[in-house]
Amino acid sequence: MKEQKRIVILGAGTAGTLMANKLAKKARKNNWQISVVDQHDRHYYQPGFLFYPFGRYKESDIVHSRRKYMPKRVTYIQQPIATVEAEKNKVNLANGEKLDYDLLIIATGSQIAPEETTGLKGEQWHKSIFDFYTFEGSSKLREKLKEFKKGTLVVNIVEMPIKCPVAPLEFSFLADDYFKKCGLREQINIKYVTPLSGAFTKPKAASSLGYLLKEKNIEIIADFGVEHVDDQAKKLVSYDEKEVKYDLLVTIPTNKGDSLMERSGLGDELNFVPTDHHTLQSKAHENIFVIGDATDVPASKAGSVAHFQADTLMENIRRYFEGRPLEASFDGHANCFVESGAGKGLLLDFNYEVEPLEGKFPFPLIGPLKLLRESRLNHFGKLAFRWIYWHLLMRGWPMPGIPSNMSMSGKQK
């Protein structure tokens, strides 16, 4: 019988939960002892935060118990984590308990850090300044939108990288649709303020998404790096002293990795863990692997990416324990629906090397989904993903018809 190996997963969000389920399926055969540590029990379907301010979902649609998705062969420890002592292969919990590991998986995600920008999290936080990247922020914004009848709505990205890079655009499109349905669009000016030179990081997608902003009469203000927010005068001020005034600010603050990484000396200046882009192994410790938003890999921080990373990680965990060379197979694959309002959406499929292209997906001849073009079917795909998330992705099952590595089949080169 194989010697028992102790695997500890830090974080029970999307990445940690799906890895726990994938590992549990192989635990008995490989004699793996698997533990997952997280201080919370509420599991959030984070893509739902985008729709919640507009009254599209109920709380029960996007909040479930984390324990519900933990397989029986996994020990779930609901405790805050004090530190990781990587040199000693040890995790120290806040209650004084210590966990020894043979292999550690960091899946602690990312979080907003509005305190990083002067004036952002002051007296006006959740009064005239809101986020929708947390359940609390999304809930507060839901109430604010009910009373917002006229003025300037500014959607601003403070800096990159952020979770789900298309979400700020989606929010702008949905706001346009929401205010049209309320009969208020002519009284509300919408501005999209970004540090990027265009609507998105990839040129082809930036062109298509920029066109949608123009079509919906949403002003884009590019190359705007926020130096501080004057929350009393209600204006953004850039490093080169440009100003953008607002009545309602929807901010996407600086995103950072978990503070645990800083306490443990495992993160970079933003607390993301330096990670091999293709093997997902920590660059500093060979028995530490990283998945999802906690990594510093230049892929989108999104649930689909974590799902695609999981296959590479599973293979490399086996290889690591068997003393074989790791497989450098993760290609940065990202697949995301972009809700564009009015019951339509786009679909993007890209990786490290290939930007989003037009074509058919997932089947090259019949689709039925269209890439980089608006369609109602893409909108329904976005809505259907919630069911896929809870019933397939969280359980560690593959997404039908979608391989882990990006396929060029059906794409127009």
Give yes or no on whether 5-109+258-322 and 113-254 have one common fold: yes
Residue 207: per-residue pLDDT: 80
Evaluate the omega torsion of the peptide bond into residue 362 and state whether it is cis, within 30 degrees of 0: yes
What pLDDT is stored for residue 198 in this prediction?
84
Q: What pLDDT does residue 126 have?
A: 97
Residue 1 pLDDT > 70: no
CA angle 223, 226, 229 (to 5 degrees): 145
Q: What is the pLDDT of residues 314-350, one digit of tens each?
A: 999 999 999 999 999 999 999 999 999 999 999 999 9
Is the pLDDT confidence value at 209 over 90? no
Q: Is 299 helix (H, G, I), strand (E, B) or coil?
A: coil
Say how far apart CA 379 and CA 370 lie, in whole Å: 11
Residue 196: CB atoms within 10 A of its CB come to 16
Please state, rounded to an integer, the average pLDDT across all residues of the chain: 95
> Could you report the per-residue pLDDT of 139-196, keeping only the tens digit for each?
999 999 999 999 999 999 999 999 999 999 999 999 999 999 999 999 999 999 999 9
Q: What is the pTM of this model?
A: 0.96
pLDDT at 280 exceeding the cut of 90: yes
Q: How, if at all, do strands 188-193 and 219-221 pair?
A: parallel
Sorting pLDDT into bands at 50, 70 and 90, what band is 227? very high
Sequence-separated (6 or more) residues with CB below 8 Å from residue 15: 107, 109, 291, 292, 293, 294, 306, 309, 310
pLDDT of residue 153: 98
DSSP for 210-251, please give it. HHHHHHTT-EEE-S--EEEEETTTTEEEETT--EEE-SEEEE
Residues 104-149 pLDDT 10s: 999 999 999 999 999 999 999 999 999 999 999 999 999 999 999 9
Are 339 and 170 within 8 A, CB to CB? yes
At residue 306, the pLDDT reads 96
CB atoms within 10 A of CB 55: 11
Reported as a single tens digit per residue, the pLDDT across 69-89 is 999 999 999 999 999 999 999
Cα dihedral sign, 78-84-85-90: positive
Query: Cα dist. 250→114, 154, 178, 257 in Å?
Result: 12, 6, 15, 21
CATH number for the 5-109+258-322 domain, one of 3.50.50.60, 3.30.160.20, 3.40.630.30, 1.10.1040.10? 3.50.50.60
Element (H, E) at 147: helix 135-147
Instruction: Show me where the domains of the chain are located.
Output: 5-109+258-322, 113-254, 337-393
pLDDT at 413: 77
Chosen CATH of 113-254 out of 3.40.109.10, 3.50.50.60, 3.30.1050.10, 3.30.70.2970 = 3.50.50.60
Which of 330, 333, 329 lies closest to 354, judged by CA?
Answer: 333
pLDDT for res 365: 87
Tokens of 230: 């004057």
d(CA 400, CA 371): 17
Q: Using DSSP bridges, classify how beta strands 255-257 and 98-100 pair: parallel, antiparallel or unpaired.
A: unpaired
